[in-house]
């Protein structure tokens, strides 16, 4: 189940975000957390089963587009479709938004083979 981030989940969220290649340095990780906590159009969501095992961070670009900046699953729970479930749940939670990956999250979407209805490709110029 996808739940909204709350301050009392900060350590868990930082731990999950630290699995992202771009968030290895503590200063960068702290900056990302501050951005999610202070900027209104940036939001963090956590994936909870028995425990919190995944995180997805997004920003609203405009009225109809949502950009995924971070998506990560605890390594011991990977390859079970949790990332796909998080994207699907996000799409259900915000049905009027088109989900767009960033350069850092695009590879995840390619690996998961998300269809065109779920995400908008980064390189639309190839059409």
Q: What is the pTM of this model?
A: 0.83
How many Å apart are CA 125 and CA 68, to the nearest integer?
Answer: 20
Full strand arrangement of the beta sheet holding 98-101: 2-4, 42-48, 52-60, 65-73, 98-101
Q: Domains, the chain, ranges and CATH?
A: 2-126 (3.40.630.30)
What would the two tokens of residue 65 be?
């587009």
Nearest to 69 by CA among 93, 33, 94: 33
What pLDDT does 111 receive? 77
How many Å apart are CA 14 and CA 70, to the nearest integer?
Answer: 12
Which residues does 78 contact at the CB level (< 8 Å), separation at least 6?
none
- pLDDT in single tens digits along all 127 residues of the chain: 999 999 999 999 999 999 998 899 999 999 999 999 999 999 999 999 999 999 999 999 999 999 999 999 999 999 999 999 999 999 999 999 999 999 989 888 777 655 444 444 443 433 3
Which residues does 103 contact at the CB level (< 8 Å), separation at least 6?
122
In the numeric block, the tokens 């779920």 are attached to: 118
Nearest to 122 by CA among 111, 107, 112, 113: 107
């Amino acid at each position: 189940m996808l739940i909204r981030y709350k301050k009392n989940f900060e350590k868990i969220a930082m731990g999950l975000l630290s699995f992202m290649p771009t968030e290895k340095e503590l200063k960068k990780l702290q900056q990302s957390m501050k951005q999610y906590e202070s900027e209104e159009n940036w939001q963090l969501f956590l994936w909870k089963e028995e425990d919190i095992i995944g995180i997805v961070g997004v920003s609203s670009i405009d009225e109809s587009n949502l950009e995924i900046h971070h998506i990560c699953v605890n390594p011991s729970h990977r390859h079970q479709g949790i990332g796909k479930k998080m994207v699907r749940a996000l799409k259900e939670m915000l049905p009027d938004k088109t989900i767009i990956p960033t350069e850092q999250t695009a590879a995840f979407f390619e690996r998961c083979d998300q269809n065109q209805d779920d995400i908008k490709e980064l390189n639309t110029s190839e059409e």
